[in-house]
Amino acid sequence: MNYGVLNRLAAATLVSLALASCGGSSDDEAGSPTAFATIPTAVTFTGGDANGCSGGTADIVVVGGVAPYSVKTTFPDIISFNTTTVGNRGGSFTMTVAPGTCLNPGNVIVTDKLDHTVTVTVTSKLTSS
């Protein structure tokens, strides 16, 4: 019996199993080497009147990290979303800031599957002269 061939076959099998168990070369697990970020990283709404600051909407794109992503805010009564889950990299959500309240700042927190977070800074202010 040729033990050299059997040893090489066993070694190749172990390497294949090790790569498969750590996610191989896919970005979707195994430490997520793709940088996790949002585009844009900050949003500012400017304007308003005697009743307070103006509101507005903005589309936020999620890049990198590991999908799916969850979306939440530090001011849920002021900042709302069209969805609180983004299912894939390159996906987006729309945030809406209610008019009448000034934020300096408010935060939108996006968390990926590996529990990494990025923050979008949201500012709503009166027009300065």
The span from the CA of 13 to the CA of 28, in Å, is 23
The architecture that CATH gives domain 33-125 is Sandwich (2.60)
Length of the chain equals 129
- Residues 63-93: pLDDT tens digits? 999 999 999 999 999 999 999 999 999 999 9
Average per-residue pLDDT in the chain?
82
Residue ranges per structural domain of the chain:
1-30, 33-125
pLDDT band at 20 (very low <50, low <70, confident <90, very high): very low
The span from the CA of 74 to the CA of 108, in Å, is 7
pLDDT at 51: 80
The span from the CA of 48 to the CA of 56, in Å, is 11
Q: What is the pTM of this model?
A: 0.74
Cis peptide before 40 (omega within 30 of 0): yes
Contact 69, 81 (CB under 8 A): no
- Residues 26-39: pLDDT tens digits? 555 555 568 999 99
